[in-house]
Amino acid sequence: MREGKPEDVAIDAPLAGKTVAVVHAAWHSCGSSQVNRSQIEAYRALGARVVSVAMMDVLTPPAPDGGRWPDYIAATPELAADARYFTGPPREALWKSPLLKDGWWPLIHGDQASWLIELAKRAPVPAELARERIDLVHANHYFTLPLASKLGSGKRPPIVLETQDIQARQYVLRNQGGFFIPPLARFEDMLAVELRWTAEADLCAHLNAEEHAEFARLLPGSRHALIYPAVEPAPLAVNPSEIAIVASDNYANFVSLRWFLEEVLPLAGPVPIAIYGNIDAGVKNRDKALYEAHSGLFRGRVGDIGAVYTRAAAILLPTVEGHGLSIKAVEALSSGAPLIATRQAFRGMGVDPATLANVTLCEEAPAFAAALGRRADELAAGKAEPARPDADTRRLYQANFSPAAYARALALEIKPLLSL
């Protein structure tokens, strides 16, 4: 059995005989999709029958054959739920409901908060799911709550909402790189939508310390819990042969990678860098010239990301933008590989990264480039040592972000909701 699996947790099965619905966006190959996987595994470890409810966040034809559904389903075989359901707002909702007024018009001004809520309101509950006896709903992101609140027969089951950051901040960031019509939606207005729906949850679970404190301040009447997410451990870095960046396609990652390619890499000289993940598509779409100038570095999405970590002489975390805890940073911690990173990469972890022996912190481009150059020289000289099983970052991961730690914390918080 792999280290840190939820099944290793020495607890009883408090949810035996219960059915839990994990409601999440139909996203793959990103930090949120990894979080969803860990939720499903943790609830199963706690004895529950678990159903996955994936909601498409765009107007969509029915699953499994239309729109983005085939790609999503093919890319998420790891979601080992007892049953999987798929739903999303039908395309005809655009003209058969007030969606144009209530959602589309706000969206063209950048109000993604309202748009996503209106989409979720129109996502139907699949017939088989409607017949499920649901004892607990674990929803992800405020915008799935209109769908989550429709689950269960009779009395609405308790709802845990895993917030995964203040989304209104993400929308403001995305609006900087989007094509929206002034006047742009204000942060305060989008935050109000987010908070109004977040308050509907019976328990608000937050993934990092800063997020927990801020939501507790904004919604003092709600129940809040800090539950660090579980991330599947990466294999130990045992065969150091390349320096890697792993990133999914979102705007914050694009901004950070652009800083690395434009500001850091030219100062580092010829160094062997490989960039993994679907961030290649994001760079190509947002800055074609930047992509073409560095196209040889991009490896795209790979089927076995674990193999990347096993050969990591160093993992780079050149994070200059983004909110909420970084799942890819946690994954890098678990590998035990040397990390070259900005302090921003460790946001929300409640740790001073300067105390971690296998982390080199660099806030400015020249320092980052110098650290990268030194590691590249060690690699070229055959002096790059493999990761130690007891590396500081690996021990931090095991204590706070392993599946076992997550299952324990989750069990503690949900028992009162079910009167266990």
Can you read off the two tokens belonging to residue 221? 């009447």
CATH of the domain at 283: 3.40.50.2000
**Residue 191 domain-assigned?**
yes
- Cα dihedral 342→233→301→377 (10° resolution): 50
- Other beta carbons within 10 angstroms of residue 309's beta carbon come to 25
Q: pLDDT tens, 311-369?
A: 999 999 999 987 777 888 999 999 999 999 999 999 888 889 999 999 999 999 999 99
Q: Do 320 and 188 have their domain in common? A: no
Q: Do 21 and 145 have their domain in common? A: yes
**Residue 236 domain-assigned?**
no
Give phi and psi for 77, each to the nearest 5.
Answer: -70, -15
Q: pLDDT tens, 26-35?
A: 999 888 898 9
CA triplet 28, 112, 207: central angle to 5 degrees?
A: 55
Q: Which whole number is the average pLDDT over 215-228?
A: 96
Burial 66-89 (b: 16+ CB within 10 A, else e): ebbbeebbebbeebebeebbbbbb
Can you read off the two tokens belonging to residue 118? 């209106």
Which residue intervals of 84-131 are DSSP H helices? 93-96, 99, 105-108, 112-121, 127-130
Burial 363-379 (b: 16+ CB within 10 A, else e): eebebbbbbbeebbebb
Give phi and psi for 348, each to the nearest 5.
Answer: 80, 0
Can you give the C-alpha Rg of the chain in angstroms?
A: 22
Contact 87, 123 (CB under 8 A): yes
Q: Do 196 and 277 have their domain in common? A: no
Q: Do 106 and 151 have their domain in common? A: yes
Q: What is the largest CA-CA distance in the chain?
A: 68
Q: Which whole number is the average pLDDT over 248-271?
A: 93
pLDDT of residue 2: 35
Q: pLDDT tens, 182-217?
A: 999 999 999 999 999 999 999 999 988 889 999 999
Binned at pLDDT 50, 70 and 90, residue 232 comes out as confident
pLDDT of residue 37: 93
Determine the structural domain holding residue 327 and report its residue range: 242-399
Q: Do 213 and 251 have their domain in common? A: no
Q: Do 187 and 302 have their domain in common? A: no
Q: Do 142 and 115 have their domain in common? A: yes
pLDDT of residue 3: 39
Q: Which whole number is the average pLDDT over 278-287?
A: 94
Give phi and psi for 207, each to the nearest 5.
Answer: -90, -10
**Residue 235 domain-assigned?**
no
Q: pLDDT tens, 124-157?
A: 999 999 999 999 999 999 999 999 999 987 789 9
Cα 162 to Cα 79: distance, rounded to the nearest angstrom: 17
pLDDT of residue 298: 97
Return mean pLDDT, the chain.
Answer: 92
Q: Do 109 and 253 have their domain in common? A: no
pLDDT of residue 368: 98
pTM of the model: 0.77
